[in-house]
């Protein structure tokens, strides 16, 4: 079925658009294969609103006499209302939106059609590769190597084609270790600390099962990681009880007897559906316009969103403590190793590594630790907070990361080179984008769909000099020190920039940001 067949009514005149904190506008509404376009030409200057259909999370129809109202709830949390004259037109528009906003075929999505004149499809895609990262990181050369054991994605379908592993472990051992790990996600290097050479590894859970199976090669691999030193830490992102239970379904944990030099610490993290529901509850609480403070606080508490922020930052702090303060290497995993594992390992890097706090460094970190590391974006971000659809595999792990980074930025407002605007842009792009960066679930799928050949890369476009400035933090002062965020409940706040994004409040904050910029610019001119 052609996309255009979903469109029964392409144009409606005299539509009224209502947005929060703006006067209502009258104009023409168009539906295309990928966009909803509203334009208002009554005044001399025409004004347009273009929304990617993929950005639409939910729509609600309501009949008022002969006309209909559609409420559009976007994944970036914007809520719009359209009053459409003519019931039939209204229903047609609604059904087009419903069909076209939930396309499942990757190659039908807008990034495959987005061809702006200032970008070219030629040239390398993305910011960096595993090989390049290895080349740049001199600390790794001695004891680590790049393995291409997964070059055809057969060892681990969700890993990139190249991974960094201890030099002394050969590819055969890796294959065996992969068989012993869920989804084949054997332990690979995530980060090597510049000052002491200690590393953060990540993987999925070992498949020890009820019979306490062992895998010699997996044990050797981890032994090689600590390379004769006394101790390494395994940070298991499940409670001890959950890890025990996982054995019943074939999963498990690294037992003390088999991994003698590794000390296991359990930290419970919620995952999947629970976190998605938490986001839904939080957004619901934020759109509650009743005036009861008690109700708001109780809803905020009940959403548990801030509790997830709290756990993520605490565990990341624990990893940093092991690596930086105690000087030990760390292996992080939960179950699949594609969500909380990535969340904790990337947060730890932001706290530890000044390089990941620059705009380029941060985007490289996301590329390495989320895109290439196989966070299943397509599944996790299929729906956001408004959708009524039954939850499948949605989970806002990435949004949680952005929130945590925002918390770090709030506590260390000078230490990050990027601004809140960058985080907000990413929060939007991850759900609906012109670019191919967040398409698919892993590199293998991207390869199959031809994402790199047929779409543009978001990160590359964000780093273009003329665009980058809006993402800069005017107060940035690099520091080499670890930036330990406080995780006292009083120190963590609701990310108002995100969750109150479409309120008047956001405009006041924008004013303040402009003022900061102008002070800094004035100061620089003087110096």
Partner 1 sequence: MEHIITPKVEHVKLLNKYPEKKSALGTLYLTATHLIYVEQTNNSRAETWVLHHHIMSVEKLPLTAPGCPLLIRCKTFQLLHLLFQKERDCQDVYQSLLHLSQPVKEDELYAFLYTPHQNQEDRRQGWEFISVANDFSRMGLSNEYWEISPLNKNYEICSTYPSILGLPKNASVAVVTGSAKFRSRGRLPVLSYYHKDTKAAICRCSQPLSGLTSRCVEDEQMLQAISQANPNCPFIYVVDTRPKLNAMANRAAGKGYENEDNYSNIRFQFQGIENIHVMRNSLQKLLEVCSMKSPSMSDYLTGLENSGWMRHIKSVMDAGVFLAKAVSEERASVLVHCSDGWDRTAQVCSLACILLDPYYRTIKGLMVLIEKEWISFGHKFSHRCGHLDSDPKEVSPVFTQFLECVWQLSEQFPCVFEFNERYLIEIHNQVYACQYGNFIGNCQKERLDMRLHEKTFSLWPHLLKNQHLYRNPLYRRSLESTVLRPSTLPLHFKFWCGMYNHYDGGMHPKQSVLDQLLSLTQKQVEGERTMTELQRQLAVADGVLPDPSGLISTPTKQDSPCEKTPTAPVVQSNGSCAPLINGDAEEAVPGAEKCNEEEGAES
The site map against partner 1 for 451-480 (x = CB under 8 A) is: ------------------------x-----
> Which residue's CB is nearer to partner 1, number 244 or number 287?
287
> Which residue's CB is nearer to partner 1, number 46 or number 493?
493
Q: How far is the CB of 476 from partner 1 (least distance, A)?
A: 10
**Residue 231, class by beta-carbon neighbours within 10 Å (0-12 exposed, 13-18 middle, 19+ buried)?**
middle
Residue 415 interacting with partner 1 (CB under 8 A): yes
> Which residue's CB is nearer to partner 1, number 175 or number 509?
509
The site map against partner 1 for 253-292 (x = CB under 8 A) is: --------------------------------xx--x-xx
Closest by CA to 12, choosing from 90, 70, 121, 110, is 90
The site map against partner 1 for 285-314 (x = CB under 8 A) is: xx--x-xxxxxxxx-xx--x-xx--x----
- Contacting range for partner 1; rule: CB under 8 A; set: 91-99, 167-175, 382-390, 502-510: 502-510
Residue 488 interacting with partner 1 (CB under 8 A): yes
Residue 486 interacting with partner 1 (CB under 8 A): yes
Q: How far is the CB of 20 from partner 1 (least distance, A)?
A: 12
Q: How far is the CB of 186 from partner 1 (least distance, A)?
A: 34
Residue 503 interacting with partner 1 (CB under 8 A): yes
Beta strands at 199-202 and 329-333: parallel, antiparallel or unpaired: parallel
Q: How many CB atoms lie within 10 A of CB 33?
A: 17
Measured between alpha carbons, how far is 143 from 166 in angstroms, rounded to an integer?
6
Measured between alpha carbons, how far is 228 from 208 in angstroms, rounded to an integer?
25
Contacts with partner 1 by CB under 8 A: the residue count is: 49
Given a contact cutoff of 8 angstroms between Cβ atoms, the answer to whether 181 and 304 are in contact is no
Residue 519 interacting with partner 1 (CB under 8 A): yes
Measured between alpha carbons, how far is 281 from 261 in angstroms, rounded to an integer?
42
Q: How far is the CB of 23 from partner 1 (least distance, A)?
A: 16
- Contacting range for partner 1; rule: CB under 8 A; set: 1-9, 359-367, 377-385, 512-520: 512-520
Instruction: Show the tokens assigned to 423.
Output: 């985080």
Kindly list the strands in the beta sheet with 56-64, ordered across the sheet, starting from the edge strand earlier in the chain: 47-52, 35-40, 25-31, 11-18, 79-84, 67-74, 56-64
Any idea how long the chain is? 527
Q: How far is the CB of 403 from partner 1 (least distance, A)?
A: 13
- Contacting range for partner 1; rule: CB under 8 A; set: 130-138, 150-158, 161-169, 406-414: 406-414
Residue 483 interacting with partner 1 (CB under 8 A): yes
Residue 505 interacting with partner 1 (CB under 8 A): yes
> Which residue's CB is nearer to partner 1, number 356 or number 441?
356
Name every residue whose Cβ is closer than 8 Å to that of residue 68 and which is 6 or more positions away in sequence: 61, 62, 83, 84, 86, 87, 89, 90, 91, 94
**Residue 314, class by beta-carbon neighbours within 10 Å (0-12 exposed, 13-18 middle, 19+ buried)?**
middle
Q: How far is the CB of 322 from partner 1 (least distance, A)?
A: 16
> Which residue's CB is nearer to partner 1, number 378 or number 411?
411
Measured between alpha carbons, how far is 17 from 40 in angstroms, rounded to an integer?
10
- Neighbouring-strand partners of residue 329: 232
Measured between alpha carbons, how far is 158 from 425 in angstroms, rounded to an integer?
26
- Neighbouring-strand partners of residue 25: 17
Q: Which residues bind partner 1 (CB under 8 A)?
A: 285-286, 289, 291-298, 300-301, 304, 306-307, 310, 410-415, 475, 483-484, 486, 488-494, 500, 503-505, 508-509, 511-512, 515-516, 519-520, 522-523, 526
């Amino acid at each position: 079925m052609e996309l255009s067949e979903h469109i029964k009514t392409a144009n409606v005149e005299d539509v009224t658009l209502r947005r929060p904190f703006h006067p209502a506008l009258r104009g023409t509404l168009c539906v295309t294969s990928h966009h909803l376009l509203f334009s208002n030409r009554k005044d001399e200057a025409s004004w347009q609103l273009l929304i990617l259909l993929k950005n639409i999370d939910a729509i609600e129809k309501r009949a008022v006499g002969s006309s209909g109202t559609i409420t559009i709830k976007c994944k970036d949390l914007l809520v719009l209302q359209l009053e459409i004259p003519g019931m039939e037109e209204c229903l047609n528009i609604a059904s087009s939106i419903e069909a076209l906003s939930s396309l499942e075929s990757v190659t039908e999505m807008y990034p495959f059609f987005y061809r702006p004149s200032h970008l070219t499809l030629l040239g390398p895609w993305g910011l960096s590769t595993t090989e390049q990262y290895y080349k740049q990181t001199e600390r790794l050369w001695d004891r680590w190597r790049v393995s291409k054991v997964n070059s055809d994605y057969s060892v681990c379908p969700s890993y990139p084609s190249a991974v960094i592993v201890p030099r002394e472990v050969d590819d055969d051992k890796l294959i065996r270790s992969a068989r012993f790990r869920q989804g084949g996600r054997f332990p690979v290097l995530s980060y090597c600390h510049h000052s002491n050479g200690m590393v953060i590894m990540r993987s999925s859970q070992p498949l020890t099962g009820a019979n306490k199976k062992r895998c010699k090669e997996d044990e050797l691999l981890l032994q090689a990681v600590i390379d004769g030193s006394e101790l390494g830490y395994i940070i298991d992102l499940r409670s001890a009880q959950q890890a025990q239970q996982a054995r019943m379904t074939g999963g498990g944990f690294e037992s003390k007897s088999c991994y003698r030099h590794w000390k296991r610490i359990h930290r419970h993290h919620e995952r999947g559906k629970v976190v998605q529901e938490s986001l839904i509850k939080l957004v619901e609480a934020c759109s509650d316009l009743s005036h009861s403070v008690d109700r708001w606080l109780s809803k905020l508490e009940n959403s548990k969103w801030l509790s997830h922020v709290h756990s993520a930052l605490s565990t990341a702090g624990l990893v940093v403590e092991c690596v930086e303060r105690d000087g030990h290497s760390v292996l992080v995993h939960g179950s699949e190793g594609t969500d909380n594992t990535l969340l904790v390992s990337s947060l730890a890097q932001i706290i530890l590594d000044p390089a990941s706090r620059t705009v380029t460094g941060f985007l490289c970190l996301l590329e390495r630790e989320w895109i290439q590391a196989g966070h299943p974006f397509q599944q996790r971000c299929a729906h956001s907070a408004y959708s009524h659809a039954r939850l499948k595999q949605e989970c806002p792990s990435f949004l949680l990361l952005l929130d945590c980074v925002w918390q770090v930025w709030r506590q260390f407002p000078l230490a990050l080179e990027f601004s809140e605007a960058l985080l907000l842009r990413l929060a939007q792009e991850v759900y609906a984008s012109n670019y191919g960066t967040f398409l698919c679930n892993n590199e293998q799928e991207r390869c199959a769909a031809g994402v790199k050949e047929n779409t543009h890369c978001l990160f590359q476009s964000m780093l273009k000099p003329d665009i980058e400035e809006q993402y800069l933090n005017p107060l940035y002062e690099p520091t080499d020190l670890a930036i330990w965020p406080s995780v006292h409940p009083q120190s963590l706040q609701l990310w108002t920039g995100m969750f109150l994004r479409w309120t008047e409040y956001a405009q006041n904050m924008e004013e303040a940001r402009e003022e900061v910029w102008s002070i800094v610019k004035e100061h620089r001119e003087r110096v």
